[in-house]
Amino acid sequence: MGNNLSIVTISLLLLLAFTNAGQVFDVKSYGGQPDADITQALMKAWKAACAVVGSKVVISTGTYKLGSVTLLSPCKGAIEFNLQGTLHAPSDVASFNGKDFWVSFQRIDSLIVSGGGVFDGKGQMAWQKNNCGKKYNYKILPTNIRFDFVKNSIVHDIQSKDSKFFHINLLGCKNLQIQHVTITAPGDSPNTDGIHIGRSSNITITNANIGTGDDCISIGDGTQDVTTNQVTCGPGHGISVGSLGKYQNEQPVFGIRVIGGTLSSTKNGVRIKTWPSSPPGIASDMHFENIIMNNVANPIFIDQCTNQSPSKVKISNVSFKNIRGTSSTKEAVKLICSNSVPCQQVVVADTNLVYKGLGGSTTSTCVNVKPTFTGKQNPPTCTIKQY
């Protein structure tokens, strides 16, 4: 993975240099003005830029209204979407005409999204209507930014705010780097995952600052070789692999690295979650290390929900190393695995998690798993094991 990553990094640096030297297409040249709707102007600018090798679409400083847009290939070469201003989504979900996205980048090779600007999803009205979690068949609300089948690309220095649903969603992407992004939504905003990754490979997320109402980062089925480095998370539900096993024929998850970073006042810390009564599945080679927890409810958590029909998602080759800080609950380490397919090759090394409340120290629980414990252990190694 290291060699592949270095090759990807070099290619992306070349991509940055190439587009910086390219032709600029400013939406203002196509009738897009501040405080007005620039949907048509952006589509015209994108089409013109796509016809040129190494081009840049620019939305300069100012505030703009933007309807749902799909930005896609074929483009003649590398292309940059440079947002310097603030885009406002329509507040009313009805204006999306059933589309599950606001801004969608599709089937693009060599894309840069940059500029320091803000994608403001105006999600407040939609959150009031969001009943996901209360009903199984809920209507999906628009995601702020979708990347579908985008490869050899980089997203850096952008902000996503108050999305109606997920902030950034990756599907079928390859060799994509996300750097220095800021994602914000209130802690009680429903289903506003920061970055969701599905069926994608060779994804890196570096120096992201995410505070939202759901998972800061969530990893879905078919995802392989993801590295997050120095992600700051909170509020939110933590960094999660899963939920897995909700649907038939899900693809395996493997090669997940969560390195460094800080989680503060989140519902969970680092978590692997599968659905009960799930079809068979595989999640393997997942490693979490050098992470600080500040007042986190479930700092280390494998959640296979054994009190219901067991999950059939097999979890193996997992490590939690040098996880330290404070837990807002006494039960700081919970390894709750399936009694149908118990977890295997789980390592817990050098943990130091202190209970933030009064009356006692932290504890750990292990169910259907025999972890290997090394180094310092606070909480003490779990003594209750059920098989």
Given the residues 156, 167, 196, 237, select the one marked as catalytic: 237
What pLDDT, in 10s, does the model give residues 343-381? 999 999 999 999 988 888 999 999 999 999 999 999 999
Q: What is the DSSP string of 335-362?
A: EE--SSS--EEEEEEEEEEEE-SSSS--
Q: Is 387 contained in some domain? A: no
Least confidently predicted of 36-40, 151-155, 219-223, 274-278: 274-278
* Rounded distance between C-alpha atoms, residue 69 and residue 81, angstroms: 13
Is 188 designated active site? no
Domain count, the chain: 1
Is 237 designated active site? yes
The mean per-residue pLDDT over the stretch 35-45 comes to: 98
For the chain, helix (H) and strand (E) counts, in that order, are: 3, 32
What pLDDT, in 10s, does the model give residues 60-89? 999 999 999 999 988 999 999 999 999 999
The pLDDT of residue 288 is above 90: yes
Is residue 99 classed exposed, middle or buried when 0-12, 13-18 and 19+ CB atoms within 10 A define those classes? middle
Q: Is 253 contained in some domain? A: yes
Q: Is 343 contained in some domain? A: yes
Q: Is 95 contained in some domain? A: yes
pLDDT band at 8 (very low <50, low <70, confident <90, very high): low
Q: Is 383 contained in some domain? A: no
The pLDDT of residue 266 is above 80: yes
Radius of gyration of the chain (CA): 21
Please give the backbone phi and psi of residue 235, each rounded to the nearest 5 degrees, phi first: -70, 175
Given the residues 214, 215, 221, 285, select the one marked as catalytic: 214
What pLDDT, in 10s, does the model give residues 197-249? 999 999 999 999 999 999 999 999 999 999 999 999 999 999 999 999 999 99
The pTM (predicted TM-score) of the whole model is: 0.94
Exposure class string for 325-344: b at 16+ Cβ within 10 A, else e = bbbbbebbbbbbbbebbbbe
* Rounded distance between C-alpha atoms, residue 158 and residue 230, angstroms: 17
Q: Is 144 contained in some domain? A: yes
**Of residues 115, 59, 108, the one with CA closest to residue 88:** 59
Q: Is 218 contained in some domain? A: yes
DSSP 27: G
Q: Residue 301: give its domain's CATH number.
A: 2.160.20.10
Range of the domain at 346: 2-378
* Rounded distance between C-alpha atoms, residue 234 and residue 82, angstroms: 27
